[in-house]
Amino acid sequence: MPSSARTATLRDAVGLGVAVGLYGVAFGAAAAGAGLDTWQAVATSALMFTGASQFAMIGVLGAGGGAFSAVGSALLLGTRNTVYGVRLAPMLAPQGWLRRAGAAHWVIDETTAMAVAAPDRELGRLAFWVTGATIYLGWNVTTLVGSLGAAALGETAQAALDAVVPAAFLALLWPRLQRSAREPGVQRRVALGGAVVALALTPFVPAGVQVVLAVVAVALAGRPRTTTSPREAAA
């Protein structure tokens, strides 16, 4: 393999890791706002290590939601990683249960994107491990920084943090609604449906439950009605 391709892969992997690390500050601060102490925030980043699920969990907890809603919304977003694992398995081909168990922990959006985008299998494996290591380190360190920083905030800074959390969710959602996304029209209808159902249910169900019910409602609305037209069924 040409060493320039290897260098480019390493540079991209480290660069992405540093950029993603910035999300960790937002997560640590938001976790503190949702009532997690610093140990719990860092444990979440170290053990759950999948950003959207972590934000969903503390989002539900921050809204006063119960344990089942919090875990449920984290798992709903975690199903993505199962599909990523299926895509990565032939490339990583982890030998033995220990390597498989280790590789699995780093199967997330960014490592999958980097591995799949690499020009060949060997660079793909390199991209997976280097991206995973960089993000894991950065994500946990910045979670700690964010959690400790939030503890020192005053009332006005707390109001700022309250506004940052929905903005962070919007930033995660945004790329899915753009024209470059797959089926952006359906994504937008799904997103609008999720938001409307969640707001409509808010006065009537315990906090956090409306988030899970909104997803279930949208999924049921888009359930396959015929076996011949999956495109129509998804709309």
Partner 1 sequence: MSTGTLWAVVLVGSLGCYLLKLAGLSVPAAWVERPWVTRVVEFVPAALLAALVAVQAATSGPDLVVDGRLVGLAVAAVALALRAPFIVVLVLAGAAGALVHVVTG
Q: Which is nearer to partner 1, 29 or 123 (CB)?
A: 29
150 binds partner 1 (CB under 8 A): no
Residue 11, classified by CB atoms within 10 Å of its CB into exposed (0-12), middle (13-18) or buried (19+), is exposed
Q: Which is nearer to partner 1, 3 or 182 (CB)?
A: 182
Residue 226, classified by CB atoms within 10 Å of its CB into exposed (0-12), middle (13-18) or buried (19+), is exposed
Ranges within 174-203 binding partner 1 (CB under 8 A): 174, 176-177, 182-183, 186-188, 190-199, 202-203
Q: Which is nearer to partner 1, 1 or 18 (CB)?
A: 18
149 binds partner 1 (CB under 8 A): no
Ranges within 82-111 binding partner 1 (CB under 8 A): 82-89, 92, 94, 100-101, 103-105, 107-108
Ranges within 3-42 binding partner 1 (CB under 8 A): 19, 22-23, 26, 35-37, 40
Q: Which region, judged by CB under 8 A, interacts with partner 1, from 10-18, 76-84, 117-125, 135-143?
A: 76-84
Ranges within 108-137 binding partner 1 (CB under 8 A): 108
**Residues touching partner 1, count (CB under 8 A):** 106
- Shortest distance (Å) from residue 1 CB to partner 1: 24
